[in-house]
């Protein structure tokens, strides 16, 4: 009887913690939606959904000649898509090398990859800035994409390598006997089998340009190349007079492409996150 009561209390405690976390996450989202629907520039509303709610701020983002929101959105989508593709390709190749080959310095290289996860990428921003400036990639989408793709390699490689290690090497040997080369083994055999974990990498790397402000702020200089996070900053500085309502509308729209990609990759994400935690 005591064991049953203890079990029920533990389950109730877990649900309580989940409920609290859900409220903590949901409240800022609902608050941002309320601000975006509030006419004028006020951040505060007596009700969650204002009585005289309006979509004027969303219309302003797309129709007002002073707004470059569509341009910023397009720039961010370009960076996000190419970052996801480049990251999946680089992570797949690197994880394949660590998982399937024996070479001098392999273990030390793995330790180096693990060690690099400890330090934030921003610690090397000065060196990255100077390097991009030296090779002429400063203030370019290519420089920003390279930064995102390379900066996420340590964590993603370690994650994908652990997943790939669980795939029997007999499949590789059978393919080699049929005349398949290393690249064909990777693309035709291993990539389809590790698709769930690659979907996780693709989603996280796709999200990065939408969420990041500091990196584009350092690398990009031309206003016509701003990402949406960098562009939205102008709505809460002196240029637009601290217009938090338009800022809130712009941030809500950021969630749309991320939600679409999440729904598209959902069946792979569940498997990838579940199995990646046990196979890593």
Domain count, the chain: 2
Q: Burial level of 277, CB count in 10 A (0-12/13-18/19+)?
A: exposed
* Judgement on whether residues 90 and 35 belong to the same structural domain of the protein: no
**Residue 158: domain span:** 61-279
* Judgement on whether residues 260 and 188 belong to the same structural domain of the protein: yes
The residue among 16, 33, 54 that closes a domain is 54
* Judgement on whether residues 135 and 46 belong to the same structural domain of the protein: no
Q: Are 149 and 81 in contact (CB under 8 A)?
A: no
* Judgement on whether residues 45 and 147 belong to the same structural domain of the protein: no
* Judgement on whether residues 44 and 74 belong to the same structural domain of the protein: no
Dist. CA 128–CA 225, nearest whole Å: 19
* Judgement on whether residues 87 and 155 belong to the same structural domain of the protein: yes
- How far is CA 166 from its chain centroid? 25
Q: pLDDT tens digits, the chain, 280 residues: what are they?
A: 566 766 777 778 888 888 898 888 888 888 888 888 888 766 666 566 777 788 888 888 888 887 889 999 999 999 999 999 999 999 999 998 888 888 887 778 878 877 777 777 777 788 888 888 999 999 999 999 999 998 888 888 888 888 888 888 888 888 888 788 888 888 888 888 888 889 889 999 999 999 888 889 889 988 899 999 988 887 777 566 667 888 888 888 888 888 888 888 777 766 655 554 444 4
CATH code where residue 261 lies: 1.10.3720.10
* Judgement on whether residues 145 and 11 belong to the same structural domain of the protein: no
**Which value, in Å, is the radius of gyration of the alpha carbons in the chain?**
23
Nearest to 55, CA basis, from 240, 252, 210: 252
* Judgement on whether residues 22 and 127 belong to the same structural domain of the protein: no
* Judgement on whether residues 28 and 85 belong to the same structural domain of the protein: no
Q: Are 178 and 185 in contact (CB under 8 A)?
A: no
Question: Whole-prediction pTM value?
Answer: 0.84
């Amino acid at each position: 009887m005591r064991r049953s009561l203890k079990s029920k209390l533990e389950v109730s405690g877990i649900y309580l913690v989940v409920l609290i976390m859900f409220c903590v996450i949901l409240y800022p989202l609902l608050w941002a939606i309320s601000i975006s629907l509030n006419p004028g520039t006020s951040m505060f509303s007596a009700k969650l959904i204002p009585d005289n709610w309006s979509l004027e701020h969303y219309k302003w983002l797309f129709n007002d000649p002073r707004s470059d929101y569509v341009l910023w959105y397009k720039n961010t989508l370009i960076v996000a898509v190419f970052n996801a593709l480049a990251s999946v390709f680089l992570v797949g190749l690197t994880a394949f090398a660590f998982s399937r080959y024996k070479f001098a310095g392999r273990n030390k290289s793995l330790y180096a990859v693990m060690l690099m996860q400890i330090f934030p990428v921003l610690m090397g921003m000065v060196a990255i800035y100077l390097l991009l400036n030296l090779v002429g990639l400063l203030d370019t989408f290519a420089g920003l994409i390279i930064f995102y793709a390379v900066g996420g390699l340590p964590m993603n490689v370690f994650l994908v390598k652990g997943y790939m290690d669980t795939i029997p090497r007999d499949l590789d040997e059978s393919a080699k006997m049929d005349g398949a080369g290393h690249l064909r083994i990777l693309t035709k055999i291993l990539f389809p089998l590790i698709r769930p974990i690659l979907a996780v990498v693709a989603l996280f790397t796709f999200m990065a340009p939408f969420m990041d402000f500091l990196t584009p702020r350092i690398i990009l200089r031309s206003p016509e190349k701003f990402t949406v996070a960098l562009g939205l900053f102008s709505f809460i500085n002196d240029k637009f007079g601290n217009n938090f309502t338009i800022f809130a509308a712009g941030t809500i729209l950021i969630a749309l492409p991320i939600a679409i990609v999440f729904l598209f990759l959902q069946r792979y994400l569940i498997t990838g996150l579940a199995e990646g935690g046990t196979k890593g």
